[in-house]
Amino acid sequence: MSPMIAAPSCHPALRQGVGLQPFTTWKVGGPAEWFAEPGEREELVSLAAWAQAQVLSLRCIGAGSNLLIADSGLPGLTICNRRLQGSRLDAASGLVEAEAGEPIPTLARKAARLGLSGLEWAVGIPGTVGGAVVMNAGAQGGCAAEWLHSVRVLDPANPATPFELEARELDFAYRHSRLQAESWIVLAATFQLEAGHDPAAITSRTSANLHCRTSTQPYQQPSCGSVFRNPEPQKAGQLIEALGLKGLQIGDAQVSPIHANFIVNIGQASASDIDALIAEVQRRVLASHGLTLHPEVKRLGFGPEH
């Protein structure tokens, strides 16, 4: 942790020692040294400038899905952007602009009501627009990269000058983008969807996708979504299930009995429990199938990330 720094009066929402459990879908994680939930994009930019002036590390989280934060917590400033919501949808052109904290399922439903096709797959993704772009989130045969036009980002080293990147500059691949290797923070994203569809048909397809996910995945328990990338053409969940690992537990972390590619918190699991269970599943799949399962989940506070 850094030396004691007084909170600036210009950022009354800036707090110290905030536990991050409520801000992750796994409900685990230690305290943030500094924490803030900006309500406007300009406030986020100002907070980033403050962190730079104080020589503090900076990271941004959204809905807290696809994220495992260590029990020891995080140094520096952690910004949660889930209050940075809002979107502008043009039914004629299909252009959709959304703030980084906009829930991706909310955006999918808005697009469906206007007859805009392209985000039907996203209705069951428990994350924000920013997170979906960074991770190239996908489901039901679709993904963010297919529809992203551009993204607006902030470089913590130069927070006063946000800039735009086109989709072709982001090196998209399966559950990967260039943004995962950079320290940039997503502020907003623009998607180019297909206009002119029947809103009722798009809404029906969107609802069907949501029903498929909620009926086959443990949505009633704390999880991060899918834990492992699929080693195509095989599916991670099928490989894990074939080894009889559904129900395997370390502490209160459990391989879901409903879907083997989900690890759920069935009580008071720690981040260490979850991390150990991820490693054990990887070990058993490698020993039996000769395949290394790579996590989708981003680890923070564990030292070198992987």
Active site residue 41: no
- Spatial contact of 142 and 118, defined as CB atoms under 8 Å apart: yes
Cβ count near 208 (within 10 Å):
13
Beta-carbon contacts of 278 under 8 Å, excluding residues fewer than 6 positions away, are 227, 263, 295, 297
Of 159, 189, 152, 163, nearest to 77 by C-alpha is: 159
- Spatial contact of 35 and 78, defined as CB atoms under 8 Å apart: yes
Active site residue 175: yes
End-to-end CA distance of the chain: 22
Instruction: Give, in order, the Cα–Cα distances in Å from 292 to each of 148, 284, 289, 298.
Output: 30, 10, 9, 17
For residues 143-154, b (16+ Cβ closer than 10 Å) or e, as one string? bbbbbbbbbbbb
E strand intervals along 146-184? 148-154, 163-166
Catalytic hit among 175, 256, 270, 299: 175
Active site residue 226: yes
Catalytic hit among 65, 177, 223, 226: 226
- Helices 104-113 + 199-216 axis angle, to 10: 150
CA dist 299 and 172 (Å) reads 20
- Looking at the annotation, which residues are catalytic? 175, 226, 296
